[in-house]
Every structure is written in C-alpha cells, then in structure tokens.
Structure 1
Amino acid sequence: MAPTVADSLKSLLLDESVYLPGTPFTISWILRSLELRDSEFNRISKNNKIYEVSAGDICEGRGYTSKIYKISIMFENCEGSYEVLMKIPTTEAFVTLMEKASGSTIVDEAFILEAHNRECQFYHKYAPYIKDLNQVKAYNTLEADSSPGVILMESLLGKAEICPIWESPNNNQIFNLAKQLSSLYAHFLCTPYESWGGRYQKNMIVDYFVSYLFYSHIDNLPRMRPGAFEEGIAIFRRYITSKKFFQYTMTDIYKDLGLPPVLTHGDMCPNNILWKTNPDDSLADEVAAVIDWQLIHEGCITNDLASFLMQCVDGGIRREYQYDVLRLMYERIVKIVKDHGNEVNFTFNQIRRAYRVNLVAQAVQMLALPSLKFSLDGLDDEETSVVVATRERHLTRVQHAMEDGLECLVEIPKDKIE
C-alpha cells in the first residue's frame, strides 16, 4: 500500500507514490497526467529534474461543492514553481449547511456529484472544439462514480482575477463577455443536435433556488434598506418556492418563443468569470476564462446573459447597455453560424422577449444575495462597518433588479408560472 501523509500544507519530498495532502491522488498521477496533455510542463521538464511537489487547499473551507488545490511543482535550475489546480468534488460543507438550515438535503450528494460529472463531460467532450471561447485547459478529468472525481487544470493564479460582487464590470468588459457567450451558443447551433442534445435537460440550479437554504435569505433584505423592498417581495412571494416558476422563466421560455435549444453555462455569477489583469493588477477588459461548468444544461440562449447582467453589473450600466449587448450577441451568432454555412432561424425580437422573461427569475434570485453574500456573523465593529458600506452599493443593484423584474413579470402569462 502506498504511503500516506497528514493533511497539511507542508512540502513533500519527491516520492511519486505519496498521496498529495488531503486527496486520494498521488504525485505520480499528477505528473503522468501533465506529461500526456500539458506541453508547457513537458517543455520545462525535458531538461530539468523535479525535486519537490506540494499541495494546498486554496478554498480554505469556502468551497461548498468542491475543494481546489494549488499544486506547486519545483524544478531544479528554475526560479519559482510550475502551478496547476486540482478540483475535487466534496459534499461536506453544503450538506451541513442544508441540514442546519432546513433539516433536509434537497441539494445533496447526488446533486454535487452530478454537477461535477457535467463539468468533466464539458471539458472532455465539448470544450476542445469550441472556437473563440476562453477557457482554462483541463489536463485530466475523472467522473465521480466508483472512483473519486477530479479535474486537473491550468492555473490562472496571478494572471486573472474575478470582479468582486460589490464592483461592476465596465461597458467594454460587458460587450466582451457577450462575445464569449456568442461563441458558445454558435458552436452548439452549428453542431448536430443528436451529438449533444437530450443529455442535460434538467436545469439543476432550480433545486437550489427553491431550497430553504436559499430563499430564507430573502426575508433579511428589508432590514438592510427599510422601505425599498417590502412591496416587491410581497409580489414575488408566491414564486420563491415554485419550481414551475423558475423552470419556465430560466429555461422553458425558449420553447414557447420558438427558439432553438443550446447548451448554456447555467451559473454566470461573478466568481465564474475570470478577467485578465493589467501590469498594475487592475482588471483588463478581456475575459481570461469562463469557469465552473458544473450546471450546464440544455436551455434558453439568453439566460446566461441575463444572469451576468443582473448579478454582476450595476443597474444603471445594465439599463443603458443591455439591449445593445444583446444585439451584439445575436448579430455575432448570426455571423458565426453563417460562416459555417448555416442560417439562424430566429429573430432579435425573439431573444429580446426571452431575455426579459429571464430577468424575472434573476430578479428573484437577487433578493437573496445580500444576506447570502454579505453576512455580518462573527465580525467585529470595524469589519462590520466595512461590509455594510460595501453592501450598500450592492443593495442598489438589487433594488434596480427587483424593479425591472416586476416590470417584466406582467408580460408573462400567469398560467405559465402559477
């Protein structure tokens, strides 16, 4: 039996049979995986001996559905380390939260493992063939079935950053993200449906939105800005636990409007978009990578954009640019599809209508985020004042989202969502 080591962040002497700390994977597995698929690793290792490999959990307990380890590989005669990331699905943190909140596990082990497997399948079956979609490279993937699941991938640490939820992308960044999405959707519009369709018909995030763990945060919102949210919450109240509502407004609307299905990302939140960085560490306008493809599903071509614009972008900027961004995405899809010898059989008006329905679901989701993302639990007075000040900007974004969601809600036939 191969030797094991204690869970720690200490460096390991190079014995390739040793398991990396806290993982079921050996140094040998890491190195063989990189040898097979990482040209940069092979370039460096060709003339330089590896003398040390170390691993550290960079999530530090914050990851609800996975642990992410930074793997640092030290070469003789080389400064610094060569780094990759290893993502392993875990259910412990999420299931504990669910049980504490509601005594149930509607988002359970099966949910998390299915999400991991979907991401593995995306990187293995689809990602290598999608042109002009910026992604991290996946060097090896193992689905979670009889063996532990894992994704070994490129590290962009030090090269890219997220835009924090309390800040907003600028207009150039918004248009660049729309270009990324157009590449994704055009690929699946040009790919025979039978090669991908029917495999991911369930929008898994719906189960999370209707769980007590999520919607219980909505009732905390009025205390944060009295008088701003009570009326809107009262109107949306009937929908916050309705799978029918979320399924229609996020996904099934495309069927009623005659839009073709595409494979969508499913979770276009700030943490899942990495932006390139400038020499001064500020965010550049270019997307470095769209990450976390765990919730891919067959669905509506506009829902990812609605999610991004509602969750990530301040309301004033979104209101000014949203339909210009939507039109750019549509026109770029039309061009890419035409360049592949095909024709798009839907209009801009159709996707505009779908987008407005998607906004309603995103508005309801936004009502829970301030309590979920800006908790004051365990903070001292100084920390509390910082978080409250940061939260204030986000509350304005939520208020704008709620107002626009209420406006779009009246356009939806009630029999579709009640």
Structure 2
Amino acid sequence: MESNVVALNREMCRSRKSSMYEFMKILQLRLLSIRVGNIREHEFFSRKFDNQLLPIGRHGLTAGWLIDSMDQILSTDNIRNIKCHQLGSDGFVSQIMRVTVEFTNNEIGKYIVKMPETTNIKAALEMTTQQKMPEGADEQFIGGLTMFFNREVDFYLMDKIPGMRLPQCFHSQRWDHGKTTGAIVMQDLQDMVSVPYYDSLNLQQIASIGSQLLNLHVFSIGLSNEWKEKFPFPMQFIDTVSNMTDIVKLYVSRNPVLQECFSKVEKMYNSRALFVHLLRDSHKILGIDDFLCHGDLWFYNLMWLPTVAGSDSASDHLGAIIDWQNIHTGSIAEDFCHMLTFCCDTKTRRFAERTFLPYYFKQLKSKAKEAGKKLNLTLSQFLRAYRRNFVAHALHLPFITSIMLCVKPAEDEEVQRARNEDLIEKVLGAWEDALEVMHDEYPNFPF
C-alpha cells in the first residue's frame, strides 16, 4: 500500500503549491495517553550489579524482579551489570525506565519498563492552567488509570494481530493499586522517532499507517467475543470530550480570531448526547459492525524509522504503534478520524479524505477477500462513518492544541507564535468541515 500512493503524493505536492478540579476531570483521558517529554526530572544512578536490589523506578520493582520476570532471557549467571535511567519521554501517568543489561559474553540488551503513576499530572495541570494544584490532587486519576493501564496489559496478553508492528513484549502484569505494581517490559525502540505535534504527516506516511490499519480491520471482521468483551467502548472518553467547553473557551479567548467560528460550533460542545452518538453509536446506525480501534492514534504513539540512522527526522516508514491502553471496539473510521484530524494540516487532511480513504476501502475489500472474510461494508457507509466520527475529533482538536502548547512550548517566542498560528488554521479548518458535516448528516441538531 505504501508504494502505491506515490502518484497521489505527487498530486498532493502540486495541490500544495496551488493553494482546578473540574479541569482535572476533563483532562483525565487525554493525560492518560499523551507522551510529550518529561515534566519532572528524576535521577536514577546506575551502579555495579552486585545484588538484585537495584531499583527500577520508584514503585518497588528491582533488578531481581526483572530477572525473575524474564527468566527465559535473563539469569544472574549471565549478567555482568545492570544500569537503568528514566526516559525523557514519560507519559503524564507513566514512568518509563530504560534498563541496559551487560551480559557476561559482552553483549548488550536494552529493555523498556513502563509503570503507571500520576506524578507528572500535577505539574502538567499547573503548566496548562497556571494555577497551583493542591498536594495529592493527582490521586483522583488512579481509578481511570488502572482501567487504561490494565487494558494495555490485556492487549499484550492476547494473541498477536497478524502483521501489526508492535514493540515486542517480554512481560506484563496487571496493576492492583496498593497490592501489585503494574508493569510492562518491552522492546526498546530507541532508534525510532516521532513526528512533533505541531508538524503534519505527509501522504506517504498516512499510507504507511493505513497499511497497519488494514491488518487491524481485517482482523476485526468476525471479531471473537473474547476481544469484544475484553475491550468494550470506554465511556470515560465520552465523559472527557463532552466536558471540555471551558478549556476550549479559554483557548478561544487567547486567540480571538477563533471567536466567530467558535460561536457557530459552541452548541455542539454543550451536547453530551451528540458525543455519545458520534463516537459510540453513529456507525451502528449506518449498519456497520464494531471494529477494533487503537483509540489514540496520533503523533506520539506512532514511531517511525529515521531518515538516516541517528537522525531525529522521521522517514515515511512506520516502525511501530505503541500505547494500546485505549484499545476498544468502535467505529472502523475512528482511528483515521483521530490521526487525520490531529496529525495533518487542513490541506493534507482534506486531500487524504478525498483520495486516500476511497483507495483504502478498495484495499480493505481486497485484503478481506484474500483472508476469506466477508466485508459487510460499502464505500458510502465507510465514508459516512468517517464524516460522522470526524465531528467529535474536530471538536476535540483545540482542547489538545491548548494543552500541548502549554506543556511543550517552543523555547523561542517567535517559533511558539508561528506554531500557534499554524494550529489555529488547523482548528478553523476542522470546525468549518464539522459544520458542513452537521448540516448534511444532522440537519435537525440539536437533538
């Protein structure tokens, strides 16, 4: 699929040339999944591996625990030294440690240990709201975090989806707060890179992501009850996006150019019923079965091979999809909506909607037939499912834009201003298209 879109990519190039407490509750789901770089620094000093008590993170896990958990790979007999340090790419609710193992045969093994925690949430909220949060305020996230972290654990314990590019998982254990530390030990993807949130994917990259979604969607046809029961649609997501109006208003107040368009979409933000319909039910009303969704397919969960070894620049080849803690059953269009809305400028998104999505549907029909599966879906249904689901992500976009500009600002004010202007254009484009969809699909809104 990736090589077949070169012509479309050229056409795209031609096209380019021519043309608080309540706040904390609102942020909950988003902060459970965003990886943006460390907010607080924690030092872990490596030392000579002379016992099994070397701490791995702050949650009671040790080198001895790691050896026991990976007994088919590690043993005290073949280890000379273990070092660990915290990565600068922690999520808001994860501590991520890189563990380097020096073996007696002089080989080196590198592993990632991911553990749930809420330490960084408070700092993130204070940066975004510019208000001091009370001590212990981040503890309210534990209930939701437990659910999401354990979903990712369960995902890695399931049978692998054929063809999916994932980090290899060596060990995982569910989190039982106060009893058992949750942990996932996986492959270190240190040679891969991500595209920054203020940039845009290109069509070739979209195609590379599409080749992975093909595997996910073909696997979802005739999905087993085990998968459906394990990963139901998370209503916590509805609770988040249907309560973000105040934050979007704050962003609009900081950027008055958004005010006119916001006045036209504001009533949509105030309808929880609309979000439930768009995200959970709209595809079912069209007669489309549930498919597996990654649920957070955006910049920092897409890991790319670099253009050259050691470069921070992403190539057009997707290396892996990470952070499966929001995996669920839902609309076949959801991951496309999330990725195209959040990760593409307006021109790229609209071009992909016109050209790539129909192409993708043809590929999906072909792959389903090759797999001996019947795809009960028409192109019209697929595109309408996309348009409906897109509205919710268009409304969600300025909420995330506001957060990211605060927690990961540019060092230079002019660069920050330029980034914000680009993101404003993306928000306006998303709102304009959402209004068009609402006019076509839901002329009788509000309902």
Q: Partners in 2 of 1:109 and 1:64 — Cα distance? A: 12
Corresponding residue SS for 1:169: coil
- CA separation of 1:259 and 1:279: change in aligned 2, threshold 3 A: same
CA contact (8 A) 2:122 2:133 kept: no
**Contact in 2 for aligned 1:59/1:67 (Cα 8 Å):** no
Identity of aligned residues (%): 24
Q: Distance in 2 between matches of 1:102 and 1:189?
A: 46
Residue 216 of structure 1 aligns to a residue in which SS? Answer: helix
* Residue pair 2:57, 2:95 contacting (<8 A) in 1 also: no
Residue 165 of structure 1 contacts residue 394 of structure 1 at CA under 8 Å; is this kept in 2?
no
Give the distance between the partners of 1:21 and 1:13, measured in 2 at CA: 17
Does 1:235 pair with 2:264? Answer: yes
Q: Using the TM superposition, give the Cα deviation of residue 12 of structure 1 relative to its aligned residue in structure 2, in angstroms.
A: 2.7
Give the alignment partner of residue 184 of structure 2, picking from 139, 147, 151: 151
- Give the residue type in structure 1 aligned to 2:256: P
Per-residue deviation, 1:416: 7.4
Report whether the alignment pairs 1:385 with 2:418.
no
Structure 1: gaps of 5 or more residues: 1-6
Asked if residue 219 in structure 1 is aligned to residue 245 in structure 2, the reply is no
Q: Between 290-299 and 25-34, report the one with greater CA deviation.
A: 25-34
Change in Cα spacing, 1:198 to 1:76, as seen in structure 2 (3 Å) is closer
CA drift of 1:105 comes to: 8.0
Alpha-carbon distance between aligned partners in 2 of 1:390 and 1:92, rounded to the nearest angstrom: 28
Report the Cα distance in structure 2 between the residues aligned to 1:319 and 1:29, rounded to whole angstroms. Answer: 50
Counterparts of 1:230-309 in structure 2, within 5 Å, are: 230-279=259-308, 281=311, 282-309=313-340
Q: What corresponds to 1:189 in structure 2?
A: 221
- The separation in 2 between residues aligned to 1:151 and 1:123, in whole angstroms, is 9
Moved more, 145-154 or 297-306: 145-154
Q: Letter of the 1:370 partner, please give it.
A: T
| Alignment match, 1:336 | 367
Matched residues in 1 for 2:194 and 2:327: separation? 20
AA of the residue aligned to 1:156: L
- In the alignment, the residues of structure 2 paired with residue 331 and residue 342 of structure 1 have an alpha-carbon distance, to the nearest angstrom, of 14
Contact 2:115–2:184 (8 Å) recurs in 1: yes
| Aligned residue in 2 for 1:168 | 200
Name the amino acid aligned to 1:63. Answer: G
Q: What secondary structure sits across from 1:375 in the alignment?
A: helix
CA displacement at 1:316 relative to structure 2: 0.6
Q: TM-score, normalised by structure 1?
A: 0.85
Aligned to 1:10: 45
Distance in 1 between residues matched to 2:316 and 2:407, nearest whole Å: 32
Distance (whole Å) between structure 1 residues aligned to residue 138 and residue 192 of structure 2:
34
Shift, 1:101, TM fit: 9.1
Alignment check: 8 A CA contact 1:140 1:153 kept: yes
1:3 counterpart residue number: none
State the distance in 1 between where 2:325 and 2:392 align. Answer: 20
What do the CA deviations read for 1:251-271 (whole angstroms, capped 9, x no partner)? 211110000101211111211
SS of match in other structure, 1:276: strand
Q: Is the 8 A contact 2:118 2:139 kept in 1?
A: no
2:91 corresponds to which residue?
Answer: 63
Distance, in Å, in 2 between the alignment partners of 1:19 and 1:172 is: 43
Distance apart, 1:396 and its partner CA:
1.8
Check if 1:27 corresponds to 2:79. Answer: no
**Which one-letter code corresponds to 1:151 in the other structure?**
I
Matches of 2:180 and 2:152, distance apart in 1: 16
Q: Does 1:119 align with 2:119?
A: no
Identify the structure with bigger relative contact order (alpha carbons < 8 Å, sequence gap 6+).
2
Give yes or no for contact 1:306–1:362 (8 Å, CA) kept in 2. Answer: yes
Moved more, 92-101 or 131-140: 92-101
Match of 2:111, as an amino acid?
V
- Distance apart, 1:141 and its partner CA: 0.8
Corresponding letter in the other structure for 1:11:
S
Following the alignment from structure 1 to structure 2, what is the Cα–Cα distance between the partners of residues 195 and 253?
Answer: 24
**In 2, Cα distance between the equivalents of 1:106 and 1:417?**
36
Give 2:45's aligned amino acid: K
What secondary structure does 1:64 align onto?
coil
Out of 50-59 and 284-293, give the one that drifted further.
50-59
Give RMSD over aligned pairs.
Answer: 2.9
Question: Deviation of residue 242 (structure 1)?
Answer: 3.6
Please state how far the C-alpha of 1:86 moved relative to its aligned partner: 0.8
What CA deviation, in whole Å up to 9, does each residue of 1:148-199 have, x standing for no partner? 1111111111x2111111111111111111111121111021443x232233
Residue identity in the other structure for 1:385: E
CA–CA separation in structure 2 for the residues paired with 1:249 and 1:21: 40
- Whether contact under 8 Å (1:254, 1:354) holds in the other structure is yes
d(CA) in 1 for partners of 2:132, 2:206:
35
Which residue does 2:439 correspond to in 1?
410
The reply on whether 1:108 has 2:141 as its aligned counterpart is yes
